[in-house]
Chain A
């Protein structure tokens, strides 16, 4: 086993029932994701990239096969243990930002640290520093409704990385952004990957996102058809 592996999938299958029709989202996927990687899972809609991302994030369970993240076998964990694992080791960036609308940008960034029980002073210090690193310091006290899509996604990224997660999972992070904002965010993710060593795994069919990744894993019909180093920017 690769000691530098953050996430390992072995023989993972996942089948959904849609209107009583089985849909094979993953068919025996083997995948290893190393520390410090920036990987884009690509493929057409229905290829299984989001399913793989969700299984790695402990949001979904495989029908068969094994999954481990940072040495922890996810198959053996119950829902509460999975919640704790997500809280401790993972950062999530969702397609539609998914910020808490009643909290300010800074409070959103502090949210996970509050769940982790980090002391208020340290929480505030880390949240402010992270927002500042993403050029969001001036907007720290605005609520999500008062921010643009790009700004909201920056806050979501700040929330995802402020706890120094083992793995940053981003599902279609550019789906609701214009190309200029997407480019900004991708530079930001790349910078975080290179400077802070954040391991980033994205599921996308946006060529611009693929361009910024180091490695591209292409799925089709639930199977990996290509796993190659990306050209990079």
Chain B
């Protein structure tokens, strides 16, 4: 016998309206839980993507090519020459850009102080892929690859008690192993998202730094993509092209950020199951009450000839309809909450703390369609699973016994 779905649906909907207050409260709980999950999952995704973006933008890129051993002992001796004809084997629409740099440890000195820094030679035209391409600069940005001036972070400038237009001395090791010392004029002071970056990196034109170290070499090529899915394909082709060099993706270069990225995925599910778990207890409790109140009525349906699976289907449908309505309103509510956050939540007052997590000063929620579909589907599945317990409990009672209650 085919289940009379229309009849079961009719009974389910009318039974929901039969106990308006109780089911209204349950609906409100579903809306709040689903809305909160949508909202918080968007924030978790925002945190996750911001952290990954910050890690990638921090001169890392999605993939970086390095000389073997450079990561363990970064110096100009671990460098490589770059063929003029080289270009990443990626479609233009997938490639955000690439940048070849020289990056060496150095000592920077002013009249007031001395600091250890990473001295980076860049071609400003290529640096739209990293944070230095978009930072605010007091003074002037570097003009081109042959610019002989330097860009200094504001925090470092404060430590060295210097400013734009002033001169600093930088000492680093040359390609021949001997120390080189040069004086540089400060073109400008840059403001990064965290003081860590400002204290760590000093920039100059890549040609200038190559002259200083005495070799026409590079220490890294950083490649940035528009999206991650092409990463594995790209990395394989790069490994083939750059035989003898290390080709590393951002997860390998920034393992802490990568671990946090994975943790955020887990956090999303943990949060979801905590919220929905609490809801399911309430749902099961309400359904058990609702079903046990109708034990006689449901027994009568079976006495008249409805099969047990019909009764199970009716209870499951009741829960599913309630869940579907609650999930739809909950998603809409969560979406509105996300929209109400506008450009994001300003976290600058906790800047030092959040910098430790690799985050920037603003948490922008990222509502992913996949997450919302997943939340919706899992919620309805949870609703069905939650309703199976009271439904199976009721059909274990024989019709005659149910009629006597």
Q: By the criterion CB–CB under 8 Å, are A114 and B15 in contact? A: no
Q: By the criterion CB–CB under 8 Å, are B2 and A92 in contact? A: no
Known: A84-B305, A100-B300, A115-B7. 8 other contacts (CB 8 A): A83-B305, A83-B307, A86-B305, A94-B300, A100-B297, A101-B18, A101-B297, A115-B1
Interface of B is mostly: helix
Asked if B301 lies at the interface with its beta carbon under 8 angstroms from chain A, I say: yes
What does the 1/0 interface line of B306-328 toward A look like (CB < 8 Å)?
11101000000000000000000
Asked if B284 lies at the interface with its beta carbon under 8 angstroms from chain A, I say: no
Asked if B369 lies at the interface with its beta carbon under 8 angstroms from chain A, I say: no
What does the 1/0 interface line of A79-120 toward B look like (CB < 8 Å)?
110011011101010100010111100000001101101000
A residues in contact with B18, CB < 8 Å? 101-102
Complex interface residues of chain B between 1 and 60 (CB less than 8 A to chain A): 1-2, 4, 6-7, 10-11, 14-15, 18
Q: By the criterion CB–CB under 8 Å, are A100 and B11 in contact? A: yes
Closest to B14 in A: A102
B residues in contact with A114, CB < 8 Å? 4, 6-7
Using a Cβ cutoff of 8 Å, how many contacts connect chains A and B?
A: 68
B residues in contact with A57, CB < 8 Å? 303
Asked if B125 lies at the interface with its beta carbon under 8 angstroms from chain A, I say: no
Q: Interface range on chain A: under 10, 10 to 19, 20 to 34, or 35 or more?
A: 20 to 34
B residues in contact with A84, CB < 8 Å? 1, 305, 307
A residues in contact with B297, CB < 8 Å? 98, 100-101
Q: By the criterion CB–CB under 8 Å, are B11 and A92 in contact? A: no
Contact of A79 among B1, B6, B7, B308 (CB under 8 A): B308
Q: A84-B1, A115-B7, A117-B1 are in contact. Are A60 and B302 (CB under 8 A)?
A: no
Q: By the criterion CB–CB under 8 Å, are A86 and B1 in contact? A: no
| A88, A94, A98 interface centre (most CB from chain B within 10 Å) | A98
Q: A101-B297, A117-B2 are in contact. Are A92 and B304 (CB under 8 A)?
A: yes
Bound-state CA distance A90–B4 (Å) is 19
Contact of B304 among A54, A60, A79, A87 (CB under 8 A): A87
Closest to A171 in B: B403
A residues in contact with B399, CB < 8 Å? 59
Bound-state CA distance A86–B302 (Å) is 9
Q: By the criterion CB–CB under 8 Å, are B304 and A86 in contact? A: yes
Bound-state CA distance A131–B7 (Å) is 20
Asked if B400 lies at the interface with its beta carbon under 8 angstroms from chain A, I say: yes
Contact of B7 among A101, A111, A159 (CB under 8 A): A111
Bound-state CA distance A225–B320 (Å) is 54
A residues in contact with B1, CB < 8 Å? 84, 115, 117
Contact of A92 among B6, B303, B310, B398 (CB under 8 A): B303
CB B401 to nearest CB in A, in angstroms, measures: 10
A residues in contact with B15, CB < 8 Å? 102
Q: By the criterion CB–CB under 8 Å, are B14 and A111 in contact? A: no
Q: By the criterion CB–CB under 8 Å, are A80 and B403 in contact? A: no
CB A156 to nearest CB in B, in angstroms, measures: 10
Q: A54-B400, A60-B400, A80-B308 are in contact. Are A86 and B7 (CB under 8 A)?
A: no
Contact of A111 among B2, B304, B308, B398 (CB under 8 A): B304
What does the 1/0 interface line of B360-399 toward A look like (CB < 8 Å)?
0000000000000000000000000000000000000011
CB A164 to nearest CB in B, in angstroms, measures: 14
CB B56 to nearest CB in A, in angstroms, measures: 58
4 A-B pairs closest in CB distance? A87-B305, A102-B14, A98-B300, A59-B400
A residues in contact with B6, CB < 8 Å? 114
Bound-state CA distance A177–B138 (Å) is 95
Bound-state CA distance A82–B399 (Å) is 11
Bound-state CA distance A184–B247 (Å) is 94
Bound-state CA distance A59–B400 (Å) is 6
Bound-state CA distance A114–B306 (Å) is 10
A residues in contact with B307, CB < 8 Å? 80, 83-84
Bound-state CA distance A102–B10 (Å) is 9
Bound-state CA distance A117–B297 (Å) is 21
CB A59 to nearest CB in B, in angstroms, measures: 4
B residues in contact with A115, CB < 8 Å? 1, 4, 7, 304-306, 310
A residues in contact with B301, CB < 8 Å? 100
CB B308 to nearest CB in A, in angstroms, measures: 7
Q: By the criterion CB–CB under 8 Å, are A112 and B305 in contact? A: yes
Q: By the criterion CB–CB under 8 Å, are A117 and B300 in contact? A: no
